[in-house]
Structure 1
Amino acid sequence: MKKLKAWLPTLAAFILMLLSFIITPPTGEMIVSLEWNGLAMIFVMTLTVAGIRKEKMIEAIERSASVFTHLGSTAAFFVVIAFILSPFITALFAAPALTALASAILKRKERSELVPSFAAMITAAATAGGMFLPAGSIGNMIYHRSIEAPFITTMGPLVIASSPVLALMIPIMLGKRTVEKTYITDESTPPSGNKGLRMFYACFAFIITLTSFSLFSWPDILFFSVIIILLFDRKVFVQADYRFILSALFLSIAGKCLEPFLVPFFAEGSYWKTVVLGEIIGQFPASAITLYQNADHGLLLRALNASSFGTLSSLPALFVLLSLKKEERKEFLIRYTIIAIVMLLLLMVVTMALAH
């Protein structure tokens, strides 16, 4: 009975998808045209912290902590490039890193039993919003300018939502010692093998190349699956919780099929209608319904960006920042938050210059 209840949201999404076929029968072209970028990211992030409700999967979380505390200065290069090029890549750093930090902090407080549920919340946040660090894409920002949307007001919610996440990532970019000083790491965690890290770098460089040409396809999923196989327990595929990826896929297809029915409802370009829709089904499926079917793109972009914050895309970061405050680490909290906001503002200025 419990298992059935756990799958009810996914079942509801599946039924909604079937009902949407009455409005618009699905075609192969329509399904292929879906944002595979977002779906690939959801798939990867679901697997990355999959099975975390099971205690025996905590070892995989600890291994991810080891990876992110031993990358050192090399990580800075990749993270900075990733942050500039794509939120998809940045998300791969953010979710496991936040999971690792949460694990260390909760263990220090002798609340290890909360690790699986908190990691699950990070997964939910990443999948619900459709992207974990939405302000990380210069291409996205330039698009805002190309449609002549009010740039500052459009990107404002993204800066607010992204700054806590970026604030937590900065110490990771600065290296292992900074991480140790800033966060409570578990030194007993063994480092990951060099082979896995080398493969990680190779795949990472390959995906960055694809990203620079805006090429997102099923090879992305295959390469990131290889990374997961090398860095995490093989059982992750068997024990993965696929409810998130399936729900997102069903809702996205339903969103496409329901466009003729729902577009008139959103024809007024209502900010709050779009925000509410984004809160209910997540930013990614909501954008499939509203973004490209409305003349007032600027209004809808602001609404979708606001809903990305509402769908918990920054809640895990805020939780960890609050933990730092409780651990009397206020100086780190203030310092890195300021740096994060400054970096985001500089990114916006550079983007505005490029857009012109």
Structure 2
Amino acid sequence: MNPGSGGHGLHDRYPSAGRRDVAHRHEMLRLGDRSVAWVPPLLLLTAIAVADYNTTGEFRIISWIVLVPGIAAAICGVWGTALFAVLAMAAYTAVDNAWPHQFQAGLPDFILVAAGGVLATLACAVRVRGERRALHMRDVADTVRRTVLRPLPPGWGGLDHAGVYLTADTQARVGGDFYDIQPGPHGTRVLVGDVQGKGLGAVETASVLLGAFREAGYHEAELAVVAERLETRMARHRDYIGALGRDDGDRFATAVLLGFPADRTGVVDAVVFGHEPPLAVGAGGVRTLPVGGGLPLGYRDLAPGPPRVCRVPVADDETLLLVTDGVTEARDAAGHFYRLADDVTRAVTADPRVAAPAPLVAVVRDGTLRHSGGHLADDTTAFAVRRTRVTGGEGHEGGRSPS
């Protein structure tokens, strides 16, 4: 998935699947905007007819024309397959009777061609129905994805942002990684995290945490209170899951919570919940933010007390890069981990413009896929943010806009 440009983030707007566009979207062969799925069965029909013309005696291959609707069933729609079934029977009749003094395949083979056409049409109908069901499930997954990971407007909350989100299961389209930006009267807050495990349970937990973040991130003045609200919501969710008797009640989440104060620039507040600390990437190099790491969300009982909030300086040209363990734990064929900081450092040294959010997450995406050979063992998210370079009070305009 390509990174968002100009701050659009990860999201593409997927069209919804309707019955009218199913065949159009799933035709296997296209030339520009036109379907050419009809070409292979038509060429096969013509080739069989021509080849039969050049055969003599009892060796007739016109019966092979039964293959034509079978090929059409695999790549054409139902009506296209039915049309080729009719054309196959018509061509068989015409060619077989064109030379009455020669050997004729006759009625038995005609019945074979007709039966093959009917069966091919029925098989095509089953195939198209399965494709429609798959498209519907894909659109359901896309709707869930847009609900959990909402599209982020350019410059949202006074931040330039971009990201990539790759699921380990390419069919799932959504997993346990989560992120969001929430502007509010007290500044802009950013949350990036990873729910332990996979499946719908992980998606549900991510949705719960994002809901709590969007409310607390807007209303609460202190970042520590936002962090406490996240921990409380995680505990309540685990209690709920346990009451249902589900076996994922011990699920936890790692996360990084950032706060960009409305009354100050040049600093960022951070709370780390058992997650990799952010990298600050600028033209001058790459550094790890010196923020303390706490326990993951869900382990509050092991370390009671308020979460630790660290305020660290960030230069105007530095972008904060946050990644999930799908990046840091990506392995190559020899089992070596992906060295994110080294890769980013090389890229920024070669071209300082890479420090901007959009090209930065593209570097991380390409580096992770290259290092792992395209085989992702876990969901992978890279998210980059930095303050929008504006003057006057405009830089905080997004921070006062509720969502």
How does the TM-score come out when normalised to structure 1? 0.27
Larger C-alpha radius of gyration, 1 or 2? 2
Larger strand percent: 2
Q: Which fold has the larger relative contact order, with Cα–Cα distance below 8 Å and residues 6 or more apart in sequence?
A: 1
How does the TM-score come out when normalised to structure 2? 0.25
